[in-house]
Chain A
Amino acid sequence: MSVIYLLITISIVVAIAFLVAFIKAVKSGQYDDDYTPSVRMLFDDEIVKENPNKLIQTEKQKSI
């Protein structure tokens, strides 16, 4: 039955690890700006490699 001591200790340790990770994340400033990252992740690096003129063309046709 003493396995319960072990399990609970492990669960608490895991929980503490998450708490520490959270505090570290806050400290590093990740929560200071909660808007920009949501936009940033949508930028696709690959678009840049293609011919930009073509892309613009299609964009323009769409808008007309």
Chain B
Amino acid sequence: MDTENCFHCGNEIIKKDEILFDEKKFCCNGCKTVYEIFSQNDLTCYYDFQAAPGATPQDIQGKYDFLDNEEIVSKLLEFQERTTHIVSLYIPHIHCSSCIWILENLQRLQPGINASQVNFGEKKVRVTFNPEQTSLKDIVYLLSSIGYEPYISLENFDEGKKKIDRSLIYKIGVAFFCFGNIMLLSFPEYFEVEEYWIDQYRGFFRWLIFGLSLPTFIYSASGYYVSAWKSMKSGLLNIDIPIALGIVVMFVRSTVDIIFDYGQGFFDSMAGLIFFMLLGKLFQKKTYDFLSFERDYKSYFPIAITKILPNGEEESVQVYDIEKGDRLLIRNQELIPVDGILISEKASIDYSFVTGEAVPIEKKSGDKVFAGGKQMGKVIEMEVLFSVSNSYLTQLWSNDVFQKRVEQQHKNITDRISRYFTPALLALSVVSFIYWVFIDVQTAFNVFTAILIVACPCALALTAPFTLGNVLRILGNRKLYLKNALVVEQLAKVDTIVFDKTGTITTNKKTAITYEGTELNTSELKLLKNVLRGSNHPLSRRLYEFIPNQEKLETSSFEEIIGKGIFAEIDGNTIKLGSSQFLKTMTENTHKKTKVHVEVNGVYKGSYVFNNQYRKGLEQLFDDLAKHYNLVVLSGDNDGERSILEKMLPAKTTLVFNQKPEQKLQYIEQLQNEGKNVMMVGDGLNDAGALAQSNLGLSISENVNVFSPACDGILDASQFDKIAFYMRYSKNAMKTIYMSFGLSLLYNVVGLSYAITGKLDPIVAAIIMPLSTITIVSFVTIMTNWYASKK
């Protein structure tokens, strides 16, 4: 059935819209045009790397007019010189090798582009162009015309040069360099051969090793000293204290050893230890470049908007420059950036981004419109009431309660263990020291330092990073993207789960449609389908898809009254579709459900009801979760669905309705005051406060590339029914960590038995340390993968 799909974008082709071009089938004109552009420029290789890689280009007429404004453009540019400009554009559609290929061949499509480079992980393309031959606006138009529309938002404002922190990589490089060389140079001494040349060059080797250990000791390990110092100052005993202590003692003792010619010292173990621990840090630092967990309204807002000057001219202005009293022009699909009053007669505004509710709200002239809504349909005009920073939504964001991340004075598992470990270790070394002082003072010093060296909790410190890093990767493959490793620990501690309703436990994609009223016969359905074809209203589109395929008829007259409905004449029949006020024949004031009423030839037939559809596996999931967790459903909607939910969900589930964003936040806070560990699962911005307040905020997203509010984790909506598995898995991960702690303590006991008796040779230390590291790393990797394979 391959032939039924569009050659360019892979979507199914609707027979009547099919376009044949160059012996290939396309679903629409847009796709055909892209193909034409590519074939004219010898770029059809695009289709060789992957079948149907494209996207249908969207109509962007006028959308990027603001790129004519020099000031805005210069804010977006990364680098600016007379003949060279560099810009990085975020393109959500980048998804396969064909995308990389076409985007790196942009110079063949447009003269003036010198080079373009894709960063696949970040979904960004970096374009170098000559501003004398082309402009940023042309490039954006070019990208849009081939289906790669860039996403430019207020966040890009002041982009310029972003500093990337690569210090960890440098540190690892230096540590590995030192570690390798020290190991090689230490080899002769390991075998303790009494040969003339070894004796002769011993001093040279030792001082060379000393020199090589300095960069590791001073530079690579610097993070541990800083962290140990900080934690000591704040009175917390974290794992970095024994680590830093171990490193320093190792270095000092080794230096003393070689100065007084006692032995070769422990420089090899020290460099190895630092290298492995840094590697653990790198492993834990799994990041999802293309996702951002720290979003605020800026990533949603447009960078510029069209302002209507008093003389009627249109001009693009930066969003920050909008002032009270300005008149703005909002096009189809554009976001309203500020609060204001609608001047145009009607508007249909989609607040799904704020409330999670997918159905657009109709506004009349003179109504207040709030920032964050998206205009659907015609171009509207509005007058500004507040500037950006004073609008309701942005106020909400800047609100202290919304901003304040619960003081994450949260101790991680390693630090909790080290609270006991560190004092015990110090006590043990002091006791042994006192014991040996009475026998032999020099051995006493040896024992004291040996204990601190061998007990340096390298394996202990590595356990959590490797386990959690691996868990993060496994979850990422299963489409749960967590912000960092700490979140896994949090996940295991949760005891209460709060769900938002709209968009979280319901999908806003597919709405089940039911019909109420007099049954429609086939010819009536045929009329209805043909009338709906002409309408672009979201409800019409959905209804159109819902009604089975019908023969095509020409409408003789068609009138769509925005915000009300459709009036059409077809085949001599009149059809009226729309809201109850529009039909006027009936008195219904229940707004609990979204309905489309139908009237044929002046006779009222009935209505199509759009029900919220619950996500697949919801009942099963709640049944599973109810065994171990307190469940709450927190909804901003009215309680129209209370009875359905009560029937579907376990009896213990608490249902709360009519909650405003602030109330949601307070509800979570109240649960926390009762000592609960709360996980909030939500989607829209109306949950943003609750997500921030909760111990763990999980955001559900139909498409992870689309922006979601600030949170600790993003879950792909298709995996919603797996939440119970993730919760179980996180608990198993913690179990693995405890087991591995036991193992590493075992190694410590073995090492300590050498140390206390004063027999710690450098070679024993050099063997035990890497061996324990390898054991721990393989153990946790095997365990986490095994738990993941278990259902």
Contact = CB atoms under 8 A, between A and B. Distances in A.
A35 B120 contact: yes
B45 A52 contact: yes
Given A33-B119, A36-B119, A64-B3, A4 B48 contact: no
Interface string B668-710: 0000000000000000000000000000000000000000000
Contacts of A10: none
A63 B48 CA distance: 11
Contacts of B181: 12, 15
Contact of B120 (A12, A16, A36): A36
Contacts of B197: 1, 4
A21 to B, nearest CB: 10
Interface in A1-30: 1, 4-5, 8, 12, 15-16, 18-19, 22-23, 26-27, 29
Contacts of B204: 5
A5 B51 CA distance: 61
A53 B44 contact: yes
B200 interface: yes
A33 B121 contact: yes
B505 interface: no
B41 to A, nearest CB: 10
Contacts of A32: 119, 164, 166
Given A23-B170, A33-B122, A39-B120, A52 B100 contact: no
B100 A1 contact: no
**Size range of the chain B interface in the assembly:** 35 or more
A4 B180 CA distance: 19
Interface in B181-201: 181, 185, 197, 200-201
A39 B100 contact: yes
Given A36-B100, A52-B45, A15 B169 contact: no
Interface string B134-172: 000000000000000000000000000000101001100
B606 to A, nearest CB: 46
B477 to A, nearest CB: 15
Contacts of A22: 173
Contact of A39 (B42, B97, B212): B97
B47 interface: yes
Contact of B45 (A19, A47, A63): A47
B686 to A, nearest CB: 35
B239 interface: no
B118 A43 contact: no
**Size range of the chain A interface in the assembly:** 20 to 34
Contacts of A64: 2-3
A15 to B, nearest CB: 6
B101 interface: yes
B177 interface: yes
A59 B2 contact: no
A56 B7 CA distance: 11
B39 interface: yes
A34 B122 CA distance: 11
A4 B205 CA distance: 10
A47 B362 CA distance: 54
Contacts of A34: 121
Contact of B48 (A12, A26, A55): A55
A4 B181 CA distance: 15
A34 to B, nearest CB: 8
Contact of B100 (A4, A19, A27, A40): A40
Nearest to A2: B201
A36 B166 contact: no
Contact of B44 (A23, A55, A63): A55
Contact of A27 (B24, B118, B122, B166): B166
A19 B200 contact: no
A59 B174 contact: no
Given A26-B166, A27-B166, A36-B121, A63 B51 contact: yes
Nearest to B289: A33
A1 B208 CA distance: 17
Contacts of B169: 26, 31
B104 interface: yes
B44 A26 contact: no
A53 B42 CA distance: 9
Interface string B653-678: 00000000000000000000000000
Contacts of A63: 2, 51
A29 to B, nearest CB: 8
A1 B196 CA distance: 11
Interface in B11-70: 22, 24, 39, 42-45, 47-48, 51
A55 B42 CA distance: 12
A23 B169 CA distance: 9
Contacts of A19: 173-174, 177
Contacts of A52: 39, 42-45
Interface of B: 2-3, 22, 24, 39, 42-45, 47-48, 51, 97, 100-101, 104, 117-122, 164, 166, 169-170, 173-174, 177, 180-181, 185, 197, 200-201, 204, 208, 212
Q: Which 3 A-B pairs have the closest CB atoms?
A: A52-B44, A36-B120, A33-B119
Interface of A: 1, 4-5, 8, 12, 15-16, 18-19, 22-23, 26-27, 29, 31-36, 39-40, 42-43, 47-48, 52-53, 55-56, 59-60, 63-64
Given A35-B120, A40-B100, A52-B45, 20 more contacts: A19-B173, A22-B173, A26-B166, A26-B170, A31-B169, A32-B164, A33-B121, A34-B121, A36-B118, A36-B119, A36-B121, A42-B97, A47-B45, A52-B43, A53-B39, A56-B24, A56-B47, A59-B47, A59-B48, A60-B24
7 contacts: A12-B181, A26-B166, A27-B166, A33-B119, A48-B43, A52-B43, A56-B24
